[in-house]
Amino acid sequence: MDIVTFVETQFLNWGMLISRLSGMFLVTPLLSGRLIPVEVRAALVLFLSYIALPQTKAIPLDTPIILVVLSVLNNFLIGLAIGMFAFFILGAFSIAGELIGIESGFGLATAMDPTMEETPILGQLVYLLALFVFISLNGHLIVYSGILDSIEKFPLFLPELDFSFTNFLISGFVDMFVVALKISIPVIGYMFVVNMLLGLLSRLVPQMNVFMVGIPIKAVLVFIIFLGLIPIWAETAGKLSNVLERVIMQLLSK
């Protein structure tokens, strides 16, 4: 295929695919991370969209520019919506880690950070654990397959978009916080008991500085509980990653 034929038959298709994949790369775990340079992500978008061209139908080059702009925007929103489901899974673990950090006292690291950046230590640790399981189960490839499958449900030339899937996204957003609470509730429960005991100790021994004593006690207990919960969290991340494909197919079937 020469360059003239490509421009006449596939150029607009390629642009629509680039827009849809850009929306996915914006929020999908690992692919949206700062560890991957922007140049590498841009090259991946161009390459992955190019190899998907055989699955598309040609869009005439003389299509009105207004319709082209609307289609590009709608394709970006579709890619963003599909990537959000993977983000919800990993986001639940990150929120759970932050909740644990607040209860255990590790959240103080955020206030003591000299760079003035928010660095939830346990949130990042739990997130990386879930991300490792997510990648091990090819979660990022599942999201890309969802983009390819979405071409049949949502054609590339899409000047009008039905936003009924937003309810599906809102439901997933709420479920993210529910999952985060379920993941963190064992540690929160233990820390509640420890705080109650420290409160009783402060009443029985007023001379003791319970604040200074409580921080190391909480840190040790959190590490012990954390080590015991790692296999459970890894299994949970695996189950949620397996659910991802089913959720995306459910979205595309609506």
pLDDT by 10s per residue, the chain, length 254:
567 676 667 788 888 889 989 988 888 887 877 778 888 888 988 898 888 888 787 777 777 888 888 888 888 988 888 888 888 888 888 778 777 777 666 666 655 555 545 556 776 777 788 888 888 888 888 888 888 888 888 888 877 776 666 777 787 778 777 887 778 787 778 778 887 887 787 777 777 777 777 777 777 787 787 778 788 877 887 877 777 777 777 777 75
Range of the domain at 100: 3-252
Number of domains in the chain: 1
Q: What is the pTM of this model?
A: 0.78
Instruction: Give CA separation, 114 vs 57, 99, 110, 121, in Å.
Output: 54, 22, 9, 14
H or E segment and range at residue 202? helix 166-204
